[in-house]
Amino acid sequence: MSLYAFHGKKIAKHKRVEKLIDLYFDEIPYSPESAEARRRISTALTAAPESADPDLLLAKYGSLEQMGTAAGFTAEEIDKWRNGGNAIDAKSVRNGLRRQRWLAYTFSFICAALFMTLLWLGYYSVTLNAQAFLSLGMTIFLAGLAVFVLYHFVKFERKHKRLRYDTETYYWMRDRADKYTKRLLNSIALVFAVSAIFIGSELTFFFNGNSKGAELAENIFSNVIWVQVPVFLLIKNFMMVGLYQNRIDIPKQREYRLHAIVIAGFSALYWLIVLLITGLLRDKITYPFNAYAISGIVFAAMLLTYNYTLRARITQKNFTFNKTRIAVVLVVTTVVSGFTLMNRETFYTQPYINSLPVVTHNANVIEYDEASGVYTITAEKDEFKVLHLTDIHLGGSLFSARKDTKALTACYDLIEYTHPDLVIVTGDLSFPLGIMSMSFNNSSPVYQFAAFMRNLDIPWAFTYGNHDTESLASMNKTEMNEVFKTLSFKSSQNLLYPYVQPNISGRNNQLIKLRNNDGDLIMAFFLIDSNAYTGEGINVYDYIHDDQVDWYADKVKALNEEVGHTVNSLAFFHIPLQQYRDAYKLYQEGSDEVTYYFGEIGESMFDAICCSDYPSKFFDTALELGSTTGMFCGHDHYNNISLGYKGIRLNYGMSIDYLAMPGIENRNEQRGAELITIRKDSSWDLVQIPLDSIRQ
């Protein structure tokens, strides 16, 4: 810094003194003696009355000798600072520090891993099983490895304590120490904040009855990485600060320590109060995680305020702005935090779901065959009612919560109006695409709808749509299959999802039998997966594969053999067959090959009928067997037409969707359901129920 800059710059008294000392110590190598001299000179000049005026300060203490004399040093001592021996250059120091930095990083990583193994050890030690001994072994191994790395870190440091460094090296190390000290202060606050939010969220979820002990442990082990990362940063920053403090006397070390203690104490107190308040008010707080998130935002604001104000008193450079680094950090932070939040399970519709009463329906007997995976329903009355719902499109996020509630309310109104014996959903229960729902989570919508149907006490079945296991979704088809199994009949008594499925294409291919009180087979319901995408491009839809059709044919033949005649059946899937398009084209041409029942084709955004480009032999096989008299699909949200074609009635379900398509929330003409009434003689009727018609 030049004398002109010093003279003209308006800065605080203590800063002015420090900069004057830096100016005259620039050519003096660092040593323990020169560091002590700096401290004594700083104290003496700050106390001098001339320090308030730059002109007087420069006039009286304009040389190293004048400053040294003011602090009580002799000419010989001052000369010793200048000529105390050879100083170590920056290159040598940086090479040594590079090795130490990697040792510090390694030790911090091991400690973070050790944190996890200690949790394992505490959890598994209760049972003293193989996992407990494995956890003990891993803990001992990591602890030994940590001691080994720390030993070499300390051993190397002992050789480099308080050496003599040239001025460039000293200032470089002081800047690095300043940087890591700032990081250490922030990482102390981060550890308390993340740990409190993590512990509070998991315990609140547990005590509210949303998870059991095993689930709590699983959640902790799955999400503990959010605590491990701050722990790693804290240990790493602590070791790096110690590394530089071992080599040089860092200005204001005492003040640094005081700030660290105050930040730790304040953070602990703040988050303890947050945990106590949320714990005491957990019955009144609908969304506990939101309370922790708001507390975190307030805490971050206070920490940021501290960084801009009080921290400036103890730092050399309080903030250094590297535009590239800031941009990279912001982008990475936004992407990582956004992706994490969009994959998180949330249950914002739960209060509405909990408020719903049971919907009365016939007390039909439902049995499940463990070997075949087939459910059998014995109808109590002469008429059995099936409500067909499709494309519910729950987002499962805070962003979609209002629309999700609308979708569930629509489902409730339709179910309460019809009092069905069974609800069949033909896919796209969830919409984990992120753009419209701001969520990639596809398990939360399933949990919510399962809870919704469980509260209504209505049996239901489900076939997959193309959106239920999107490639970006948090759970793939195997994981989602397991979710449905955990929610199925053995635990819920109302979801008819098979625990055993045929080894063919698709995520769920299912047969449900409907019998009367005499044991006669009235109807067979085939729920067939139309699959999702072929993988050959964007929105290249899949189809019902040959092995699925063969399975269907075998089941129909077996049922025919069982009852001694051709059994009547209905088929449910998501993506329409090409025959839907063929039939609609003939209907437009006025052909008498097609019978029109009701509804319309309202799709205009893409193809009028979005079927697969690949033909499926399912329709022709069904036509040949003569069993299936009706087919039901969804997928095209504005299509709700019902056409008879070659003796099979092809039906589009009215959609529920409030979320997936632009502007669809404000349109209601396509929204509703279909009620299928099956009589004892296996005949059936179909009525379309627009949502508007039952709300008038």
Q: What is the pLDDT of residues 487-515, one digit of tens each?
A: 999 999 999 999 999 999 998 999 999 99
Of 167-176, 317-326, 434-443, 564-573, the least confident? 317-326
3-state DSSP assignment of residue 245:
helix
Confidence of residue 346 (pLDDT cuts 50, 70, 90): confident
User: What b/e sequence results for 378-411 when a residue is b if at least 16 CB atoms lie within 10 Å of its CB, and e otherwise?
Assistant: bbeeeebbbbbbbbbbbbbbbbbbebbbbbbbbb
**Looking at residue 70, what is its pLDDT?**
84
**Looking at residue 162, what is its pLDDT?**
61
Greatest mean pLDDT range, 122-131, 148-157, 578-587 = 578-587
> Cβ(436)–Cβ(334) under 8 Å?
no
Domain boundaries, the chain: 3-82, 96-320, 359-695
Greatest mean pLDDT range, 149-163, 168-182, 260-274, 312-326 = 260-274
**Looking at residue 127, what is its pLDDT?**
64
The answer for residues whose C-beta is within 8 angstroms of residue 664's C-beta and 6 or more apart is 637, 657, 658, 670
pTM score of the predicted model: 0.66
Is the sign of the CA dihedral 263, 269, 270, 275 positive or negative?
positive
> Cβ(507)–Cβ(485) under 8 Å?
no
Integer CA distances (angstroms), 624 to 572, 627, 647, 664, in order: 18, 8, 11, 39
User: Which CATH topology does 359-695 take?
Assistant: Purple Acid Phosphatase; chain A, domain 2 (3.60.21)
**Looking at residue 170, what is its pLDDT?**
82
Confidence of residue 208 (pLDDT cuts 50, 70, 90): low
Greatest mean pLDDT range, 30-44, 145-159, 564-578 = 564-578
**Looking at residue 409, what is its pLDDT?**
96
- Pairing outcome for strands 569-572 and 628-633: parallel
**Looking at residue 387, what is its pLDDT?**
98
Greatest mean pLDDT range, 26-35, 83-92, 281-290, 299-308 = 299-308
Q: Calculate mean pLDDT across residues 601-619.
A: 89
